[in-house]
Structure 1
Amino acid sequence: MSQAGPILFVSNAERPPFIAALDEARLFPVVDTDWASAARAVEQVQPAVVLAQISGGYEPHIAPLARKIADQSPYLPFVALDASGALPPNALPFSSRSGNSDRLIARLRAALRVRTLDATVLRRLPEVKVALPEGDPARDATVLLIGRGAAYPALSVALGERVGVVGALSIEAAAKHLNTRDLDGVVLAEGFTPRVTDAFLTVLAEDTRFRSLPVILTAHQLTQSYDLPNLELIPGEPAKVAANALPLIRQHAMEAQLSRTLRSIDAGGWLDPRSGLLTVEAFARDFAKAVEQTLARGGGLSVARFAFDAGNSRAQLDAARILSRLMRQMDFGAAQKDGSVIVVFAETDFRTAHMIARRLSAVMRHTSNGKHEMRSDPVVSVDSLSPSDTARSLLGRLSADASRAAS
């Protein structure tokens, strides 16, 4: 992959041999600078990626450099080589000790794809009015934590303070979550043999859906290479694992957010870039039309409402993303301003809609966030269109059912 701009290599030592592999891979030119000059070099060189070797004398310079990089637009990847301590929030960790230059090249290519995606969104934004998500993309990220060792509870808390966490005590349970959720990272902790770990990583690498997913190993050694550009070994205390895994998770969450934004642009701004479902206005328009057509032509139409605790706004977002992934193409939904999510099942009777809603709510219950393990337990209400209904009466009845169920 070629890119507009060079690679800026930051180091106070001689250029290591594996940097030559970047020239061979046509990821060039590579411009060298030292740590003291790095922040100024970002302005002068306008690089497409910054690759920094964490070596002697970097400490007073890494924070200003990270801030300078974070201020750049479009997204400027910042890869930190061989860091032993905590990294800035936007520094992607990479261990070069294996000497495998292919892993570094794959990591840079994956990061450059996110930069290209960001540039594409910025170029196309004037086409339609799209409400861009604000704040840190990691705020909306969800991570799958797999493990059954002594460190699992502490890792769950450390990750949960930063992102949503879906826990799995077995590889089989993890596989179900991978197939039903949009995840922004996998943390594989202790409790599994090398053979099980190898089999799991091999399956991830062979499935194109998961190839760019950050995969963090906390208690394993990489005995072979896998086609997983964002695979990284981060041992240590849970707080350190969570802090250094977060930049990779954030980059993936940003990539997913940018992809949803592009889909919203393609849809004329009627899709919500944060949830992946329709905007409230588009939902009201489509729902009124669907009710009108169903009453005129006959057939079935059912609606399900998933209501959540008002203090757990994250649960609504998780539910919306699960629905956008699992619902049928003929169905549509939206995250509502009252904290609920409503989905419309076209050509579906009450019994079938109730069964589908129960299955969807079961998937939603497995996400926890933060120290207090706030869970996404929805109050579910389902109703179907009757001949005397309007769009307003059907939604009103649905909300009333939900209020009775909650009480």
Structure 2
Amino acid sequence: MKFSSQYVVLSICIAYLFLGCSSVKTVPFENYVDTDSKKVYPQVKTTYSLEDKGVFVSNEFDCARLNGFNQLNDSIAIIDIYPENGPINNSTYYAFKAWSKLPKDYYFQFKYPKGYKHRYIPKIKRNNVWSVLDASKMYKQDSIVTVKLSLTSDPIIVAAQELQSSKEVKDWYTNLMKGKEDYVRLESFGNSVLGRNLPVLDIYKGSAQGKELIVLLTRQHPPEVTGFFAFKAFLKTVLEDSKLSEAFLNKYRIIAFPIMNPDGVDLGHWRHNANGVDTNRDWSKYNQPEIKQAVKYITKQAKKYDNRIILGLDFHSTWHDVFYTNKIRENTTLPNFIEDWFAALEHEIPDYKVNEASGNSTKPVSKGWFLYGHNAVGITYEIGDKTPKGSIDRMGKVSANEMMKILTNR
């Protein structure tokens, strides 16, 4: 049987389309992490009650995490909190509503699986206002934490951190874009495991052609809200109507991912996506759809407009403020950026000292992907669990301004 040359070429093109065209280059790391999908144990959505006490709790809302509710004695109830699966790090996240038939104080004791302990000071949302639980209402005996809550018939939310659901994130970036639509373009880079939209903001003025590219991302880990607050302050500053922002966005392009793991966020997960995987260990083989689609989007956009990736900032939260950096800097896209940026932060913020933890990424995390995959500077920008909002806003604003100054003056 004879085949025409045109048929052979067409067959090769079709095979390439299905086998190679949609693929992206994997990035090797020293230490492999298994990011194949794992079994997840979903929480049962329900309202629990202690009828004889007239006390109720519920997890029937986005971002909730509550796995059981039982009476311990006349004045204390047990709150059961379990992760979505394991092994998992000690981000013992919780969020529930609580109320009572009659006004009363009631005690709630947190119960976690063996090996995990309480991490977050409770945040209380009452009358649509968030506050931190007063220290006098929190009691610790060995590893057991009990809190006293003042209840009424109006439900309060008790959570490890302020809630920022995928809807609230959408409301934020939609409002942020108003009046800026000519240079802030909202797109979707795909869908999560459960079909939630994955939004991305494509930001530049003039033409995208040939501009160097900065990538910003956040909410890979659901409870890490303080890092998201820094991301918000950072991006808001970049988009301010200023001469600095004008000059910066005429020279550079930003791709910003405001919520990388919407399933994990809305499901109230401690750390993982709906497939039970830490997405910030998937920046090598891209087994999870959120990371695979983000990498495809970045790669496609950079290639289409001849953009060189020079910097990636991944906003997270941990026990304290810290910047995780790679030691390899010479011959990268911005060999002096980290030193110049940190020096500028210390100069601009009174009594501030940068806390840097430097080490080349051995696990497949985003900062390593920027380095090994693109020879670009990658930084994990971590904000402490207890860092006050005012400090977060100041840090986000100053760090954005100093980044723009350094890069604009190159």
Aligning the two structures, in what range does the TM-score lie when normalised by the shorter sequence?
A: under 0.3
Q: Under a length normalisation based on structure 1, what TM-score does the superposition of the two structures give? A: 0.27
Which is richer in helix? 1
Which is richer in strand? 2
Q: Under a length normalisation based on structure 2, what TM-score does the superposition of the two structures give? A: 0.26
